[in-house]
Amino acid sequence: MTISIRSVEKQFARYPALRGVSLEVQPGELLALLGPSGSGKTTLLRIIAGLEFPEAGQVAFDDQDVTFASAAARKVGFVFQQYALFRHMTVAKNIAFGLDVRKAKDRPARAEINRRVEELLGLVELGGLGGRYPAQLSGGQRQRVALARALAVSPQVLLLDEPFGALDATVRKSLRKELRRIHNATGVTTIFVTHDQEEALDLADRVAILNQGSIEQVGTPQEVYDQPASAFVCSFVGETNRFDGAVSGGRFVCGSVSLAVDCADGPKTAFVRPHDLVVAPDGFEAQIVRVTAQGPVIQIEAHTASDQPIEISLSRQEAGSIAVGQTLRLAARKIHLFDPVD
């Protein structure tokens, strides 16, 4: 199902949470809403779910206006960060809840509900745990139950609010793979909120990056990483070195840093990814203050001659026998230039 969000605005007590957000989510897509806390990403998700209502703008599912439809009427599955399981019900009862509360004429037969619960328990790999209570499960298992419960009503859209936020790193990684697998198996349009850029880039088909209530860029993980649309996206997604300076005569200059660019003159902010810095005999100077080996890459912290700290990633081959105290000459393979930002 296509989800269209058109110029949605929302305020919380005079503080704008969303300022005119528009977004189109394609059928069967897995989309990430990525942004720092307070960027409005959770508010946007809750508006799509019908748990929050916008002051202006429109939400449409397949061109049907649902802006003010209740959560129940929208047929969405919602997964909360803190699971929000019903503690007094068994896992099976939790999963069956959405079917159990239906009116008698729409409610499947008992045996049909049980079959569906078993099927979903299998899908989230919790087979045999239907009789347990949520208190008897680990965090990762609880989140799987929450996922199965949301999927039980065969939602047209699956919405997840920081689904892995409360879990430890290893569980998070495996659940991430799990979500991808379940998404592929069910084909349901899925939107998830995260502040973890690695999670968003790893899992999503497309990423929408929010900042201060506005969408800065929507694109595939590769697009937002390689062609950031704004200085915010560039610095929020991936590691960067930031230089505030000016371009004149085809060179960007910031203190002792001088880089060749192809851009009109004027004040600019430049971003260079640590792995886009290369050793070059005619480059700017930087003195190494720390070297750490992280698997195949060597991470280098250095100071430029004008005393700005920078980070460099070199392959082991490129790095050679590099040592603290040594001075490197560096050039940039790729520079992202934006109008000055504060």
Partner 1 sequence: MSSTTHISSGQDRRPRGAPPLFRRRSAIPGFGLSLGLTVSLLSLIVLIPLSAVILKASGQSFSQFLEAGFSPRALGAYRLSFGAAFVAAAVNAVFGVLTAWALVRYEFPGKSIINGLVDLPFALPTAVAGIALAALYAPNGWVGQYLEPMGIEAAYTPLGVVIALTFIGLPFVVRTIEPVLRDLSADVEEAAASLGAGRLSIIGRVILPALGPAWLTGFALSFARGVGEYGSVIFIAGNMPFKSEIAPLLIVIQLEQFNYQAASTIAVVMLSASFAMLLVINAIQAWARKRSA
327 binds partner 1 (CB under 8 A): no
Could you tell me which of 10, 18, 14, 13 has the C-alpha nearest to residue 210? 18
CB of 51 to partner 1, least distance (A): 5
Question: Does 135 help bind partner 1 (rule: CB under 8 A)?
Answer: yes
Looking at the DSSP bridge assignments, the partners of residue 260 are: 251
Applying CB under 8 A, among 7, 64, 68, 87 the residue interacting with partner 1 is 87
Closest separation between CB of residue 27 and partner 1, Å? 20
Walk across the sheet containing 251-254 and list its strands: 257-260, 251-254, 241-248, 266-272, 336-338
Q: Where are the alpha helices (DSSP H) in the chain?
A: 41-49, 71-74, 91-100, 110-123, 139-152, 169-186, 197-203, 221-226, 231-236, 316-319
12 binds partner 1 (CB under 8 A): no
Minimal distance in Å, beta carbon 125 to partner 1?
A: 21
Structure tokens given for 332: 């940039």
112 binds partner 1 (CB under 8 A): no
Binds partner 1 by CB under 8 A, chosen from 4, 9, 97, 108:
97
Q: Which of 5, 33, 44, 49 touches partner 1 by CB under 8 A?
A: 49
Name which position in 3, 17, 33, 50 contacts partner 1 (CB under 8 A): 50
Hey, what are 42's tokens?
């959770």
Which span sits near partner 1 by CB under 8 A: 95-103, 109-117, 175-183, 237-245?
A: 95-103
Can residue 91 be called a binding residue for partner 1 (CB under 8 A)?
no
Residue 106: how many CA atoms within 13 Å on its side-chain side?
7
Give the list of residues 6+ apart from residue 206 with CB closer than 8 angstroms, or none.
29, 30, 31, 32, 218, 219, 220, 221
153 binds partner 1 (CB under 8 A): yes
User: Which residues bind to partner 1, rule: CB under 8 A?
Assistant: 49-51, 70-72, 75-78, 80, 82, 84-89, 97-98, 100-102, 133, 135, 146, 149-150, 152-153
